[in-house]
Amino acid sequence: MNSQQFRRIRVAVVFGGRSSEHAISCVTAASVLRVIDRERYDIVPIGITPKGRWVLGPGDPATLAITDGRLPEVADDGGTVLLPSSAGAAEIIVSEPGAVPRTLGEVDVVLPLLHGPYGEDGTLQGLLELASVPYVGSGVLASAVGMDKHYMKLVLAAHGLPVCRHALVEPGEWEPQRDRVAAEASALGWPVFVKPARAGSSVGITKVEGPAGLDEAVLDARRHDPKVVIEEAVVGRELECGVLQGRGGEAADTSVVGEIRVDETHEFYDFDAKYLDEDHVALDVPADLDAEVADRVRSLSAQAFQALACEGLARVDFFLRPNGVVLVNELNTMPGFTPTSMFPMLWAATGLDYPALVDRLLTTALGRPTGLR
């Protein structure tokens, strides 16, 4: 028999990165590396250090897990990994001091498990497009728009989707235009949430009860991103829905709807509540909703996915007001992907378990061309 028939699909799993969500990316990678089908896929783990160096990652997922509250990090050791730099050249090269560069062979598809800037925002996607290497997830445009909360809201609103009201603080605007920004924040009604425009995992977010706390909150958000958004605080239930690209050109598939409930220990679903203090958070999957509301959330999720021209996967987050109004909060093109994250839980409840979910994402990526599409 032809041995080519039995060649495993080569998958480069990329994780870590330069963003403030480095550790969460590592945790996501650990989860995926544990469940991916090794009989079908040949895995090349590639870590990106906090300083941006690409290294051959650890093969043991345990080294990438949160241990005793300690967040993991890609170690700055080992050989430097060089990705393909031109179309048609899919080989990965490892360069080590004092040694001849060696090849790890060609890669069939890249699974980028990066969260935040320099990975989830279209930068890595652009690199892979230039090299004509297939990859999981949305392309350059959808990734960039999905990373920027301001532009995301503009695009969603332009497509008729209901979004939360917000004010924008452009880079360099805060000091010279503080009074204007404060007035716009006040117009939203107190309290408000101040957020880095291009960050995730609730990093750098502050709930501000009044004008006196605005200055400190903006400065804190700017430690993560010079561009800041100020959003109205919506009173209501927090809902989430998963979306997967449809098969063979069909419409996107949506999961059951889940709900996040946070007790009084946390004012909102912040970083600690998401990853370090799970005892005070409940993820209800599926959420206890009227069928009509659940159907509306799923419909809006598919519409948001299409509005941003997403591919592969996304998680869409919502608020449900007491009067029944549903608002789109945001869309995540690379949602949290640990076994206890909402996205895999939603799909497990829909009938697609974690290993099958990873397999579907890789299969979708392999069946999609790079370049203009």
Query: Edge to edge, what strands does the sheet with 313-320 contain?
Result: 281-284, 253-262, 237-244, 313-320, 326-332
CB half-sphere exposure, 314, CA atoms < 13 A: 30
pLDDT score at 167: 96
Q: Is the pLDDT of residue 243 over 70?
A: yes
What span, in angstroms and rounded, lies between the C-alpha atoms of 14 and 131?
A: 16
pLDDT digits (tens, 9 = 90+) for 172-204: 888 899 999 999 999 999 999 999 999 876 788
Q: Is the pLDDT of residue 12 over 90?
A: yes
pLDDT digits (tens, 9 = 90+) for 248-306: 889 999 999 999 998 766 465 554 454 445 666 899 999 999 999 999 999 999 999 99
What span, in angstroms and rounded, lies between the C-alpha atoms of 108 and 90?
A: 8
pLDDT score at 267: 61
pLDDT digits (tens, 9 = 90+) for 209-233: 999 999 999 999 999 999 999 999 9
Of the listed ranges 103-117, 264-278, 289-303, 316-330, the one predicted with least confidence: 264-278
pLDDT score at 276: 46
pLDDT score at 5: 62
Please, are residues 349 and 177 in contact by the beta-carbon 8 Å criterion? no
Q: Is the pLDDT of residue 68 over 90?
A: no
**Burial of 222 (C-beta count, 10 Å sphere; 0-12/13-18/19+):** middle
Of the listed ranges 1-5, 225-229, 329-333, the one predicted with least confidence: 1-5
Distances (CA, A) of 90 to 17, 55, 103, 365: 21, 17, 11, 15
DSSP category for residue 65:
S
What span, in angstroms and rounded, lies between the C-alpha atoms of 149 and 167?
A: 11
CA dihedral angle for residue 145, residue 148, residue 154, residue 160, rounded to 10 degrees: 60
Confidence of residue 89 (pLDDT cuts 50, 70, 90): low
Select the more confidently predicted residue: 330 or 70.
Answer: 330
CB half-sphere exposure, 362, CA atoms < 13 A: 25
Structure tokens at 354: 């974690």
The average pLDDT across 144-169 equals 97
What span, in angstroms and rounded, lies between the C-alpha atoms of 78 and 104?
A: 14
Domains and CATH numbers, the chain: 3-135 (3.40.50.20), 146-163+234-366 (3.30.470.20), 166-232 (3.30.1490.20)
What span, in angstroms and rounded, lies between the C-alpha atoms of 47 and 145?
A: 25
